[in-house]
Structure 1
Amino acid sequence: MIVGVGIDVVDIARFVRQVQRTPRLLDRLFGDGERGLPAESLAARFAAKEAVAKSLGAPVGLVWRDVVVEREDGHRPEIVVRGSAERIAREAGVQRFHLSLSHDAGIATAMVVAEGP
């Protein structure tokens, strides 16, 4: 059963400018394992976090760092939720997230499907 769907796009150049203006933004948005990635990958991961929030109905209290995109070499990226995101997903009946990421022509895109029982 599909609980929710979310999609988001991020202008990579605009994202980079925002991070340059407010460097602490990286700490508020990303976990330790995410922060060292190239700008286009960070932008795609931010789009994924937004898409997760949308798939959950844009809940109040969602902490961005509680939504993490993990990717092992040779495997597709996966959404991992912790803390506030895990609680909200569980309350919504989400058992698994499906994720698709892309970045091209200056735009990063993420699409998320939240799946329940």
Structure 2
Amino acid sequence: MIIGIGVDTVDLGRFERQLARTPALAARLFTAPERELSIASLGARFAAKEALIKALGGSDGISWQDLEVLRGEARVPCFTRTAALERALQARGGDHVHVSLTHDGGIATAFVVVEARMSAAQPAMPRSEDKARQE
């Protein structure tokens, strides 16, 4: 079941100028491994963090450092499962995060879906015969 969806877009030129104007901003927004990446990748990761906050319905209990985006299996981007992110997901009933990143033509965009995966014992939808019994 989908708990939340978020999307965000970053103008990479503007983002790069902001990082140059405020040098401490990169350390505040990104973890050390993230800071090693290109400006396009940083912009996409910032967009992903913003999109996740939107999908969660707010940033209560999490900081920028709790939202690390790295490449997982098969180089697919994913959020590192920090303790704060786990708590935020649990508080909202989610347990899985999907993230997609793109950057081209001076723009970076991220799309995030927060999901609650169903347990094997719980049917995804009530069966028609179960619904009839309830009525």
TM over 0.5: yes
SS in 1 for 2:113: strand
C-alpha contact 1:63 1:85 (8 A) present in aligned 2: no
Q: Note the C-alpha offset of 1:73.
A: 7.6
Report the structure, 1 or 2, having the larger strand content. 1
Gaps of 5+ in 1: none
Q: 1:72 to 1:62 in 2, by over 3 A?
A: closer
- Aligned-residue sequence identity (percent) comes to 48
RMSD of aligned alpha carbons:
1.4
SS in 2 for 1:78: strand
CA distance in 1, matches of 2:53, 2:64: 9
1:78 — aligned with what? Answer: 78
CA distance in 1, matches of 2:103, 2:7: 13
For 2:94, the aligned partner's letter is V
Gaps of 5+ in 2: 118-135
CA distance in 1, matches of 2:116, 2:73: 27
1:25 — aligned with what? Answer: 25
TM-score (ref. length: structure 2): 0.81
C-alpha contact 1:4 1:56 (8 A) present in aligned 2: yes
CA distance in 2, matches of 1:37, 1:73: 18
